[in-house]
A and B are shown apart, each in its own frame.
Chain A
Amino acid sequence: GDSVTQTEGPVTVSESESLIINCTYSATSIAYPNLFWYVRYPGEGLQLLLKVITAGQKGSSRGFEATYNKETTSFHLQKASVQESDSAVYYCALGENYAQGLTFGLGTRVSVFP
């Protein structure tokens, strides 16, 4: 079946430093699945951070970016300068279609210290 592998946490980073969370995927039924990054902030539900549905394109939100790389089947999440408010658990996910739901990675807990 489909699978998503991402950086194992926890990840600790200082404020204003850069952050990268690696994500690679494998989709069994289609060549170019939709790719997502979700985030769960402390005390809140899972929410969409960004998504890219076209291979080769980049998504961005709240200073985060991720590029859909079909050659390396990767969708790494990056931010040039993190803030304390970016402390959260980040999940990479793929979806082939709305009926079958999403396949999630294990999640990466990120802690940003001042």
Chain B
Amino acid sequence: GPKVLQIPSHQIIDMGQMVTLNCDPVSNHLYFYWYKQILGQQMEFLVNFYNGKVMEKSKLFKDQFSVERPDGSYFTLKIQPTALEDSAVYFCASSHGDWGNTGQLYFGEGSKLTVL
């Protein structure tokens, strides 16, 4: 079936550095999401991106976070600067349309971020 690819699968960085997580969504999908899962906790919604703009974001989406998808390339999550509490697995998801009714969300395998 359709695949969402995430790069890198694992990244280790020092606190205060910048990190960019990349997502290659399913082609022709229009809605893009990032979720965050801290070890032992629930996967939580971060942000929804559509038509070049953030549509919705949760309280977890701090000012240090940003998302973009320049020219239809990777959908990226940038964290600058990183903090210890940003250590988590970040999941990208994409959807063609209203997954509540006719569509569905497709998830990547996650990017594990470790902040030291």
B55 touches A99 (CB 8 A): yes
User: Which stretch of B11-19, B65-73, B78-86, B98-106 is in the interface?
Assistant: B98-106
The 10 closest A-B pairs by CB, nearest first: A101-B45, A46-B107, A45-B109, A104-B43, A34-B100, A99-B56, A98-B98, A48-B104, A45-B107, A99-B55
Chain B residues near A (Cβ < 8 Å)? 1, 3-4, 31, 33, 35, 41-45, 48, 50, 55-56, 58, 91, 95, 97-101, 103-110
Bound CA–CA A97/B31 (angstroms): 12
**Which parts of A67-114 form the interface with B (CB within 8 Å)?**
91, 95, 97-107
Q: Please measure, in the bound complex, the distance between the C-alpha atom of A53 and the C-alpha atom of B100, giving whole angstroms.
A: 7
Within 8 Å CB of A102, what residues of B?
Answer: 35, 45, 105
Q: Is A101 in contact with B33, judged by CB distance below 8 angstroms?
A: yes
**Interface residue tally on A, bucketed by range:** 20 to 34
A residues near B104, Cβ cutoff 8 Å: 48, 51
Between B33, B41, B42, the greatest number of chain A beta carbons within 10 A of the residue's beta carbon is seen for B42
CA distance A15 to B37 in the complex (A): 31
Chain A residue with the shortest CB-CB distance to B46: A101
